[in-house]
Amino acid sequence: MPDPIAEPQARRLRPGDWQRLKSFACSTGVWYEEDVERFVRTRLRGHYEWRKSHTDISVFVLAAAGDPWEILAVGAHELDPQITADGQPLEGSYLIVGAVRRDLQGREVDVEPFEDGRPVSVGRLLMETLIDDLPERPGAVRAVVARDNARSLRLCERIGLREERPDADHRFVQRLGRLA
């Protein structure tokens, strides 16, 4: 097993990062990873630029310690007016994307474990970074995940996104929850 990645730095996306994201590789060849990689490379910037004048949107990266330009992972979230419970709107956030560089998927990072004591993976650190940035914790959170993506569905379960709703696209499912 490879050594854990030394102290990655979580930070908001910088203007120079957009160019680096054009070659960000997170797909191992499965269809849902291809979709995410294409989104990060070609559509995330446009989505961010358009949404920032309409809502609170944040894009974060995990960067290598000592090299703030080496992007290990990228994630984004925004306020979500679509979250409801019992027909009533809830203040919440939508996790737009979370992607870990292909060669680092499943790799652990050298940080103190979270409450559950499990070693922290790059993906889990990215999700915790996004969650810590949410405006109202504990708030309602929604994510759309490919039904075939067992790793992301397990991560959703661990962070509290346990309610499942159908998505307009049958290949996906919406996962919702309140974070503790």
In a domain, 167, yes or no: no
**pTM score, whole prediction:** 0.88
In a domain, 155, yes or no: no
In a domain, 159, yes or no: no
Q: Compute the Cα dihedral for 81, 129, 147, 104 and give only its sign.
A: positive
Number of domains in the chain: 1
State both tokens at 78: 């925004």
End-to-end CA distance of the chain: 32
In a domain, 164, yes or no: no
In a domain, 180, yes or no: no
Q: Domain with 134 in it: what CATH number?
A: 3.40.630
Using one digit for the tens of pLDDT, what is the confidence trace for 106-150? 899 888 877 777 788 898 899 888 888 876 545 688 999 999 999
In a domain, 62, yes or no: yes
Pairing of the two strands 88-89 and 84-85 = antiparallel
Using one digit for the tens of pLDDT, what is the confidence trace for 9-55? 999 999 999 999 999 999 999 999 999 999 999 999 999 999 988 88
Chain centroid offset of residue 94 CA: 10
In a domain, 151, yes or no: no
In a domain, 121, yes or no: yes
Using one digit for the tens of pLDDT, what is the confidence trace for 82-92? 777 667 777 78
The pLDDT-based confidence of 164 (bands split at 50, 70, 90) is: very high
Pairing of the two strands 172-178 and 163-166 = antiparallel
Chain centroid offset of residue 141 CA: 12
Q: Which domain holds residue 24?
A: 5-139
Q: Which residues contact 89 (CB under 8 A, 6 or more apart)?
A: 81, 83
